[in-house]
Amino acid sequence: MNSQSGIVEHMNEAGELLLHIDPERVPAWAAALRATLAEMPLRIWPDRGDPDQIRYALLWKPPPELFDGLHNLQVIFSVGAGIDHLLSCTTLPAHVPVVRMVEPVLTAGMVEYVIYNVIRFHRRMHEYDVQQRQAQWQVLPQVTAGDLTIGIMGLGVLGEAVASMLTKMNYRVTGWSRSRKSLPGVRSYVGEPELLKFLSDAQILVMLLPMDETTQHILNKGTLAQLPSGACVINAGRGGLIHENDLLNALDKGHISCAALDVFETEPLPEAHLFWRHPNVTVTPHAASLTNPVTAVQFVAENIRRHQNGKRLKHTVVPTDRR
């Protein structure tokens, strides 16, 4: 065995990594993976090479046929923070661990997006924008951060980071989640029984929940009505969390004064959708926090090395989330 074949055998033992992502993102991800995981051959869908060699898969919205014959697949990584794009894939192998993307740059991007919109709504910048277009010089009343309650639905890694930043900025912060959380300065509400109370205080509501059958349309006519009059909504979780027509009605009636929406039931948001032209809605194209290939690949590489060394993977999806 020459040294060349020795290397090949070692690589085969470690297996190969399969990448599936939107075509325009492939070059940056492939470059980052080749730089950080140089020892691991990279396959880019639809080229799977010998499917038996695939041990790891890094995926965004995989097609069902991607998993055919991947008998040796050992870990599935999500390119994004959300994993609903994997769980909704009918062929996702039930026995293979799924790992969420959790890394500081992705978290920081989400904190920036939410804080930007909280301040914009709190300091009424969206109203000053309108006034400027009408050359209208009018000072609006100013509320201090400590007099404003920001309610965060979903206190996972992203929700917790947002909550922590908001508390540092002196906002009153509440959070709603499946289990009780003990976060400094954050009032925790739990489950169905405490949902209405949580909503009734949330002057700015931040949606960062995962999408599943329990959270679909959780913000609807009934729950929107529980928010204080004039509340603002920020959705950076998933479009399906909100019943879009109910939100439009609440905006038209003025019960909800403004919304910043980054995610939608149908993406890209159809050209004719009323959100595009609603005066009190800000639309961004699912861009609140884009996964940065260079830093994200560090997280993937660390987890692959942990896996190869028999250590526990970080940020695997718990079985109850995989129902």
Please state the closest distance from residue 80 (CB atom) to ligand OXD, in A: 3
Residue 172 a catalytic site member: no
Q: Does 202 bind ligand OXD (CB under 6 A)?
A: no
Instruction: Name the residue nearer to ligand OXD (CB basis): 107 or 223.
Output: 107
Rounded CA-CA distance 169/164 in Å is 9
Residue 286 a catalytic site member: yes
Rounded CA-CA distance 320/323 in Å is 6
Please state the closest distance from residue 62 (CB atom) to ligand OXD, in A: 14
Please state the closest distance from residue 290 (CB atom) to ligand OXD, in A: 7
Count, residues in the chain: 323
The active-site residue, picked from 178, 217, 273, 286, is 286
Over the window 279 to 318, marking each residue x when it contacts ligand OXD by CB under 6 A and - when it does not, the resulting string is: ------------x---------------------------
Q: Does 159 bind ligand OXD (CB under 6 A)?
A: no
Question: What does 181-197 look like in DSSP terms, one character per residue?
Answer: ---TTEEEEETGGGHHH
Instruction: Name the residue nearer to ligand OXD (CB basis): 145 or 283.
Output: 283
Range list of β-strands (E), 69-147:
75-78, 98-99
Please state the closest distance from residue 81 (CB atom) to ligand OXD, in A: 4
For residue 67, give Cα distances in angstroms to 30, 45, 86, 153, 315: 20, 11, 11, 33, 22
Strand order in 231-235's β-sheet?
A: 186-190, 172-177, 149-153, 204-207, 231-235, 256-261, 281-283
Q: At what angle do helices 125-133 and 104-122 cross, to 10 degrees?
A: 60
Residues 68-127 that bind ligand OXD (CB under 6 A): 80-82
Residues that bind ligand OXD (CB under 6 A): 80-82, 291
Instruction: Give catalytic residue positions.
Output: 238, 286
